[in-house]
Amino acid sequence: MKNTIKKNLMLFRIKVKRIAMYKKAGHLGFTHPSVVKCSQELDNLLNKVQGICS
């Protein structure tokens, strides 16, 4: 049960981070340092949720 809640929270955070990244990329371009940092944070979240699901 606890893992399900944790997984759902992580999936929500991933969705929010992805939206933020695309908005930044639309304004600044995909190679802007702020967008790259956001992308790395998204990668980190995806790796964490993969660890929960495994």
In the chain, what is the straight-line distance between the N-terminal and C-terminal CA atoms, in Å?
15
Given a cut of 80, is residue 4 above it in pLDDT?
yes
Per-residue pLDDT at 1: 63
35, exposed or middle or buried, with CB in 10 Å at 0-12, 13-18, 19+? buried
Per-residue pLDDT at 50: 84
pLDDT, tens only, 7-50: 899 999 999 999 999 999 999 999 999 999 999 999 999 998 88
pTM of the model: 0.85
Neighbours of 41 (CB within 10 A): 15
User: What architecture (CATH level 2) is domain 2-53?
Assistant: Irregular (4.10)
Identity of the amino acid at 8? N
